[in-house]
Amino acid sequence: MRAALAALATAILLAACGGASKSSVGPPPTASGIPASLLAAARPIGRGPRFHPANRGPILGSCRPTFGDRLEAHIEVFGANRVVLLAKGIGTGGPRKFLDGRLTRARCFGAIVTLDPTGTVYVRAGSRYTLGDLFRTWGQTLTSSQVASFTGGRTTVYVDGRLWGRTAASVPLTEHAEIVVEIGPHVPPHRRFAFPPLPTESLR
């Protein structure tokens, strides 16, 4: 399990730098081949249930038997200087089936859905939802001073690398948004994410 989480953290780190071309000007890579700026932003996944908050919220919108057309946003959550994983299967109705930590079957799909804990969020096309809605359907708290079970500071949110000047809950879940939520020590936010292809017809 620990090895799987380490691999997941590496995948998230590498995906977050997606979209940069080979000709991009930036800091030289380290011996590992990963740019130093990315390593500075890297944090390990936290240990224990606080860093793996359960999926326990209500399904938002109609729960439909097919996945349907979706847009993708990516959410990174940091608490106490560690990665907090979004639960898999948020916004879906049971019974569910998972393969290698990824949802492969559910009874129905709500308006905001996660399939795995990588932070990719799928929002029903044509709908308008916010980061606050995501946390509500996840069943976790998001306020100016609390993120899930984490307190002891002010909640800070970045969108595409830029500081969000309004409430955390008001951030819109828009196509290919890279949203970073922090409470505790500052973590340099990623500006972009290499989004995976939308799920195949097996979920539709």
Assigned domain for 25 exists: no
| Matching residue, tokens 């595409």 | 160
pLDDT band at 42 (very low <50, low <70, confident <90, very high): confident
Domain around 38: 2-18+32-203
Which position has the token pair 């949110």? 157
The one-character DSSP state at 190 is P
Domain for residue 148, yes or no? yes
Asked whether residue 112 carries a pLDDT value surpassing 70, the answer given is yes
pLDDT at 60 over 70: yes
- Higher local confidence (pLDDT), 136 or 28: 136
Q: What is the pTM of this model?
A: 0.83
Which phi-psi region, left, alpha or beta, contains residue 110 (left: φ > 0; alpha: ψ -120 to 50)? beta
Which tokens in the block code for residue 81?
């200087």
pLDDT of residue 192: 94
In which band, very low, low, confident or very high, does the pLDDT at 169 lie, cut at 50, 70 and 90? very high
Report if residue 147 sits inside a domain.
Answer: yes
14 is a domain residue? yes
Q: What is the DSSP letter of 54?
A: -
Q: Which residue has the higher pLDDT, 42 or 45?
A: 45
The rounded distance, in Å, linking the Cα atoms of 170 and 27 is 33
Radius of gyration of the chain (CA): 16
Judge whether residue 82 has pLDDT over 60: yes
Q: What is the mean pLDDT of the chain?
A: 86
Whether residue 68 contacts residue 109, with contact meaning beta carbons closer than 8 Å, is answered with yes
Six-digit token string for 192: 């972009």
What mean pLDDT do residues 171-196 have? Answer: 96
Confirm if 134 and 49 have CB atoms less than 8 A apart: no
In a domain, residue 27? The reply is no
Residue 66 in this model has a pLDDT that exceeds 80: yes
Confidence at residue 65, expressed as pLDDT on a 0 to 100 scale: 96
Residues 109 and 67: beta-carbon distance below 8 Å = yes
Angle at 10 between CA 7 and CA 11, to 5 degrees: 85
Residue 83: which H helix or E strand, with range? strand 82-84
Bridge partners for 183 per DSSP: 79
* Domains: count for the chain: 1
More confident residue, 120 or 196: 120
Q: Which two tokens stand for residue 94?
A: 């049971």
pLDDT-based confidence at residue 29 (cuts at 50, 70, 90)? very low
105, two tokens:
């079957």
pLDDT at 16: 55
